[in-house]
Structure 1
Amino acid sequence: MIGRIVQSVDFERVLAAPTRARSTHFAVHFLAARPAVKVAAVRHAAHKLSTGEAPLQGAAVDDLPEGACWLGAVVPKRHAKRAVTRNLLKRQIRRVVHAQVGLPSGLWVIRLRSPFDRKLFPSAASDALRTVAGNELLAVMAKAARTGA
């Protein structure tokens, strides 16, 4: 099972950890931990209800299966100017991570660390860019999965 990292505190924790693997364009960070729980949101919701109890929505983070992974993707505008390109790269990141088998449980962040050459990939979302990025992500995730295992 793969969830998404949504809180900035979780991104900060993972990015503070050493890089687990890197390639020309991507860096993979890993932290063997679970996402932080939003305590303030639960208190705020409980305070507004007349019964004084917050409704339960979904499974608690601690109740998720043991092999659960959480993924965050960082694709900054300075490396991918067009939203189409950023979205393409994020989709490729999610596709590659979902295809990985045997990833260690914890928080994973994949970030774009350098831009793709616009002279080689003039189109914002070309099949060539999708293929090159996908292949590079497959290689760097395979290396990251082997490292520290």
Structure 2
Amino acid sequence: MLAGSTVARTAHFALHRVALDGPVNRNKPLASVMTSDSALFALSDVWLGAMVAKRWAKRAVTRNAIKRQIYSVSADFETMLPMAAHVVRLRAAIDSKQFISATSAALKMAVRLELQQLFARATARSQGLALTGGAS
């Protein structure tokens, strides 16, 4: 998934995207569907995952709070994203000196604002590419 293109970045997050393969033919036997040329995702839709490594957010409660913010913000932007598989990756450490509590309201708000910037950049880029016919 990370071999796909990086669509947008902020100080702490990166959004990666990989195009979906065509849908799987459901009339084929399972053995023929499980070949290397089968689609990664059977449904054409917007797929989103969150990757929050222990390296950057030490406490599980912090990682879970960040993931909840990722899924919450992504739901707001889902209709503006192209049909593809997306992964939001935490790419820098969350400053434990600035956010003393693992799930403080300040941390959640800071993460949410940065994720909104990330998705706004990604959707602006996607819409810009659509308007120019895919040329960059």
- Given the two structures, how large is their TM-score scaled by the length of structure 2? 0.75
Aligned pair partner of 1:132 in 110, 118, 127: 110
The 4+ residue runs of structure 1 with deviation greater than 3 A are: 34-37
1:109 corresponds in structure 2 to 87
Contact 1:34-1:107 within 8 A present in 2 as well: no
Q: Distance in 2 between matches of 1:35 and 1:111?
A: 25
Seq. identity, %? 45
SS in 1 for 2:80: coil
What is the letter of the counterpart of residue 80 of structure 1?
A
What is the letter of the counterpart of residue 71 of structure 1?
L
Contact 1:70-1:106 within 8 A present in 2 as well: yes
Q: Distance in 2 between matches of 1:73 and 1:36?
A: 23
Contact 2:48-2:87 within 8 A present in 1 as well: yes
SS in 1 for 2:94: coil
2:13 corresponds in structure 1 to 26
Q: Distance in 1 between matches of 2:113 and 2:121?
A: 13
- How far residue 18 of structure 1 moved from its aligned partner, in angstroms, is 2.4
Residue by residue over 1:72-110, the C-alpha shift from the partner in whole angstroms, topping out at 9 and shown as x without a partner, is 110000100000000000000000111113211110000
Change over 3 Å in CA distance of 1:127–1:15 after alignment to 2 = same
Task: Give the count of matched residue pairs.
Answer: 112
SS in 2 for 1:147: helix
> What do you get for the CA RMSD once the two structures are aligned?
2.0
Q: Distance in 1 between matches of 2:90 and 2:80?
A: 23
Contact 1:27-1:112 within 8 A present in 2 as well: yes
1:146 corresponds in structure 2 to 124
